[in-house]
Amino acid sequence: MADALPEPMVSRLPLAPLDLRVMVEDNVLIEAEDAPQAAAFANLCCGLLPLRAGTVKFLGHDWANTPHERASALRGRIGQVYGANSWISFLTVEANILLQQLHHTTVPAARLRDGAAELSLSFGLPGLPLTRPDELTFEDLVRASCVRGFIGQPRLIILMSPELERVADLRPALFNALAAARNRQAATIWLTLSHIVWNDRSIPATARLRLTEHGLVPGRALP
């Protein structure tokens, strides 16, 4: 992201240019003001916001100059951990989790299912949920969100669910998944609304930034 300035009418992002470079194995922790701003930033990273100026690239491809089909394929390599309202209600949780990988890859469905089941267990679920989203508890949906975000070995993972921080025993599994992603040379952007989380030194962040009216401002966690 170089001097990226989104159109002001379509986002809640600051009117200052945004600069960010996320390399492989980076885990960037960014504090946003509110959920819409965090969502807008995530959309910016995925090339979904029109820019007034500057560029946003992913894997060397400038989103603005990438044809629609290619851009969709590139987004297939981004895993996102969303909040509770991100589920397609007429599909099962299993179908929701596998949808992105089934669409963008030719990996056999059985293998994807096995991978998803393994991830589900690692995130504390008894298995891959086969029910509809409205039949799961809040905590289980949050865990399922993590499964959906990490499945398929994405190159970039964007965590932007404030609910992640409310499920107490999810942290160890999440940190393990982040470590595994780093070992695979993936990068992570963790968008948080909580100053406490942003200051938490146990989170293995390679950089801590704040999304302010002046753009992305680096900071340091308090000792």
Partner 1 sequence: MTGASVDSAAIAARRVLAVIGRVVRIRASFLLMLGAMSWGVLLEAGRPRSWRRTVRAEFRRTLRQAAGGGLATALVTAGLTGLALVAQALYWLGLTGQGELEGSLIVTVLVRELAPLLTGMVLLGRSGTVTVTELGLLRLGGQMNVMAAQGLDPFLLLVLPRTLAFALTSFTLGMFFVLGALVTGFVANSLLGAVQESLWTFFDHVLSSMRRVDFAMFPLKMLLIGALVALTACITGLTARPGDDAAVLLPRGFVRGVLAIMVASLAFSLAA
169 CB-near residues (< 8 Å, 6+ apart): 124
Nearest distance, CB of residue 3 and partner 1, angstroms: 23
Nearest distance, CB of residue 89 and partner 1, angstroms: 6
Please say which residue, 105 or 199, places its beta carbon nearer to partner 1. Answer: 105
CA-based Rg of the chain, rounded to a whole angstrom? 17
Please say which residue, 69 or 169, places its beta carbon nearer to partner 1. Answer: 69
Nearest distance, CB of residue 82 and partner 1, angstroms: 6
Please say which residue, 41 or 198, places its beta carbon nearer to partner 1. Answer: 41
CA 162 to chain centre: 12
Please say which residue, 120 or 145, places its beta carbon nearer to partner 1. Answer: 145
Please say which residue, 71 or 173, places its beta carbon nearer to partner 1. Answer: 71
Q: Which of 55, 65, 72, 185 binds partner 1 (CB under 8 A)?
A: 72
- SS3 string, the chain, reads CEEEEECHHHCCCCCCCECCCCCCCCEEEEECCCHHHHHHHHHHHCCCCCEEEEECEECCEEHHHCCHHHHHHHHCCEEEECCCCCCCCCCCHHHHHHHHHHHHCCCCHHHHHHHHHHHHHHCCCCCCCCCCHHHCCHHHHHHHHHHHHHCCCCCEEEECCHHHHHCHHHHHHHHHHHHHHHHCCCEEEEEECCHHHHHCCCCCCCEEEEEECCEEEECCCCC
Interface residues for partner 1 in 13-52 (CB under 8 A)?
Answer: 39, 42-43, 46, 48
Q: Which of 61, 104, 113, 171 binds partner 1 (CB under 8 A)?
A: 104
Nearest distance, CB of residue 103 and partner 1, angstroms: 4
Interface residues for partner 1 in 128-157 (CB under 8 A)?
Answer: none
80 is a contact residue toward partner 1 (CB under 8 A): yes
Stretch that binds partner 1, among 82-90, 135-143, 177-185, 204-212 (CB under 8 A): 82-90
Please say which residue, 87 or 198, places its beta carbon nearer to partner 1. Answer: 87
Binding residues vs partner 1 (CB under 8 A): 39, 42-43, 46, 48, 68, 71-76, 78, 80, 82, 85-90, 99-100, 102-104, 109
